[in-house]
Chain A
Amino acid sequence: MTELSANEDLKATGRVPSGCPVIHLDASPPLEVGSHWQKANELREESPAFFNTHAQGYWVFTRYDEVREMYQHPEIFSSESITPWEPDPVYRFVPTQIDPPDHSKYRQLISRWFAPNAITRIAPEAHEIGRRLVADLAPAGECDFVTDFAMRLPTEIFLTIIGVPGSDADLMGPWVEDFFAGFGGDLAQQEAMGAALGGIRQYWVEVLEARRGESAPRDNDFVSLLLHSEIDDEPLDDALILDILTVLVLAGLDTTRGQLGYLFRHLAEHPDDRNRLLAEPELIPSAVEESLRLYTIIFGDGRKVAQDTDFHGCPLNKGDMVYGLVSGANRDPRVYDRPDEFVVDRKANNHLGFAGGPHRCLGAHLARMVMRVAVEEWLKVIPAFEVASEEPLMERGGGAMLTLLSLPLRWEVPA
């Protein structure tokens, strides 16, 4: 197993004039499950801020207050780049990389579609999808949860909300897999990643063409709505619409899959919590929140410094990159009691798993609903299950979003 602290990584190797300890940390290789959170814990307790000499070098904030402050101050911490090792990306994702004040124009186009009211409207369909997928898997007595279920469920529900056939998950699922295989930096996967992105874009081109020229927006059809929307009294151009749709796919499916994997691993390994949810299903929403806190898939999130600032003793210069360790913040003992425990009925849980500030995850309400559906429908049919692997489980590196690479589960099939 690779250790995140191989070499002298964890040891402070020097000091910048500010007194900030210096580290060299590359979080991109896959590691044994839990290693990223452990690393975040260690860094957080050693110092609230570091300078990391990885790539061109960037600041790292490790505690809750600082990470939240980063999110809440876009005038200092711009989203022009959100990957600290890539300060000048060639792409510009909308709305992710747009700063206020323009940001809200784009965001308003999308936000109603993913608001709780809209999500509640499709909940019955989502439950039906969940029931069908569980019923398909149950007789086998085993599956690889992250590929067989955790990707399929959010994808079908997402497509249904957008207003295209859920069965197109056959196409979308593999594209998303290929995209993220390359996104983590694996050079062997770059070609497949490019092809996947092309596939996703072309899919939306066709959806767009099928709706062009209609006099009124179709009901419950997001792409049709975008075609009839305006920004600054101008219709949206195709490139912007394609960009928004592609961002939704890339932001929404792999993330939910990752989060579901960790939640179900927890339930597989903790029969007490599982039984509690069976007996008190009203606790499922709080279990979902607790998994977002404890098993944060966003190892860290990046921003670009927009003005010279002294930030808690770190002399930030315009153009510097910063990295807020969301996974450190969400286990910060300054904020949470029993920070490293899964407390199924935790009362005060203000985790930053969906970020904060203006870029707060736009799909948060959808993601929560999908996760609740997953737990509810799964437990009804498969109340007891375990991890079917002797080997330690591995997780993808923290350069993208964390996810288990595989989660083999098994359960008894009634005769």
Chain B
Amino acid sequence: MKLTVRSDLCRGHGRCYDLAEDFLEDDDEGFVTARGQTLDVPADQVEDVRNAAASCPEGAITILED
């Protein structure tokens, strides 16, 4: 599974790095550092990442299933 964070949509709500705290991180302004990137999601992070994506108020996170 992969995750993409759209940089034009992310507004730094921080829901994602709160819910998937072992996988996602925030920068100095509160945006997720993965903004604008596509990352491979490790198997043990899949559940947290799904919750994170479903909890982003901007709909900025897309999950790409394998």
Contact, CB under 8 Å: A356 / B58: yes
Q: Which residues of A contact B14 (CB under 8 A)?
A: 116, 364-365
Contact, CB under 8 Å: B28 / A112: yes
Contact of A117 among B9, B28, B56 (CB under 8 A): B28
Contact, CB under 8 Å: A347 / B54: yes
Asked if A358 is at the interface of the complex by the 8 Å CB criterion, the answer is yes
0/1 interface trace, chain B 36-62, chain A, CB 8 Å (1 if under): 000000000000000100111111000
Q: Which residues of A contact B11 (CB under 8 A)?
A: 356-358, 360
Q: Which residues of B contact A (CB under 8 A)?
A: 9, 11-15, 18, 26, 28-30, 51, 54-59
* Alpha-carbon gap, A351 to B59, bound state (A): 11
* Alpha-carbon gap, A117 to B17, bound state (A): 12
Q: 24 interchain pairs (CB within 8 A)?
A: A108-B29, A111-B12, A111-B30, A112-B28, A112-B29, A114-B30, A115-B12, A115-B28, A116-B14, A116-B26, A117-B26, A285-B18, A347-B51, A347-B55, A348-B54, A348-B55, A350-B15, A350-B54, A350-B56, A350-B57, A351-B57, A356-B58, A360-B13, A365-B30
Contact, CB under 8 Å: A352 / B57: yes
* Alpha-carbon gap, A105 to B18, bound state (A): 27
Q: How far is the CB of B34 from chain A (nearest CB, A)?
A: 15
Contact, CB under 8 Å: B59 / A115: no
Chain B at the A interface: SS class: loop
Asked if A56 is at the interface of the complex by the 8 Å CB criterion, the answer is no
Contact, CB under 8 Å: A354 / B13: yes
0/1 interface trace, chain A 48-60, chain B, CB 8 Å (1 if under): 0000000000000
Contact, CB under 8 Å: B29 / A72: no
Asked if A68 is at the interface of the complex by the 8 Å CB criterion, the answer is yes
0/1 interface trace, chain A 98-111, chain B, CB 8 Å (1 if under): 00000000001001
Contact, CB under 8 Å: B9 / A72: yes
* Alpha-carbon gap, A213 to B58, bound state (A): 42
Q: Which residues of B contact A356 (CB under 8 A)?
A: 11, 13, 57-58
Q: Which residues of B contact A358 (CB under 8 A)?
A: 11
Residues A68 and B13 in contact in the complex (CB < 8 Å), given A117-B26, A347-B54, A348-B51: no
Residues of A260-294 contacting chain B, CB below 8 A: 285, 289
Q: How many residues of A are in contact with the other chain, CB < 8 A?
A: 24
Asked if A317 is at the interface of the complex by the 8 Å CB criterion, the answer is no
Q: Which residues of A contact B13 (CB under 8 A)?
A: 354, 356, 360, 364
What residue in chain A is nearest B9 (Cβ atoms)? A72
Q: Which residues of B contact A352 (CB under 8 A)?
A: 57
Asked if A167 is at the interface of the complex by the 8 Å CB criterion, the answer is no
Contact, CB under 8 Å: A115 / B30: yes
User: A114, A351, A356 — which one has the most chain B CB atoms within 10 A of its CB?
Assistant: A356
Q: How far is the CB of B33 from chain A (nearest CB, A)?
A: 12
Residues of A328-365 contacting chain B, CB below 8 A: 347-352, 354, 356-358, 360, 364-365
What residue in chain A is nearest B30 (Cβ atoms)? A115
Q: Which residues of B contact A117 (CB under 8 A)?
A: 26, 28, 30
Contact, CB under 8 Å: A349 / B28: no
Q: How far is the CB of B11 from chain A (nearest CB, A)?
A: 4
* Alpha-carbon gap, A365 to B59, bound state (A): 19
Q: Which residues of A contact B30 (CB under 8 A)?
A: 111, 114-117, 365
Contact, CB under 8 Å: B55 / A350: yes
Residues of A273-320 contacting chain B, CB below 8 A: 285, 289
* Alpha-carbon gap, A275 to B19, bound state (A): 23
User: B9, B13, B29, B57 — which one has the most chain A CB atoms within 10 A of its CB?
Assistant: B57
Q: Which residues of A contact B18 (CB under 8 A)?
A: 285
Contact, CB under 8 Å: B59 / A350: yes
Q: Which residues of A contact B57 (CB under 8 A)?
A: 68, 350-352, 354, 356, 360
Contact of A111 among B29, B56, B59 (CB under 8 A): B29
Which 10 pairs across A and B sit closest by C-beta, in order of nearness?
A: A348-B54, A115-B30, A360-B11, A350-B57, A347-B51, A356-B57, A350-B55, A349-B55, A116-B26, A111-B29
User: B9, B12, B30, B59 — which one has the most chain A CB atoms within 10 A of its CB?
Assistant: B30
Q: Which residues of A contact B55 (CB under 8 A)?
A: 289, 347-350
What residue in chain B is nearest A107 (Cβ atoms)? B29
Contact, CB under 8 Å: A72 / B26: no
Q: How far is the CB of A67 from chain B (nearest CB, A)?
A: 11
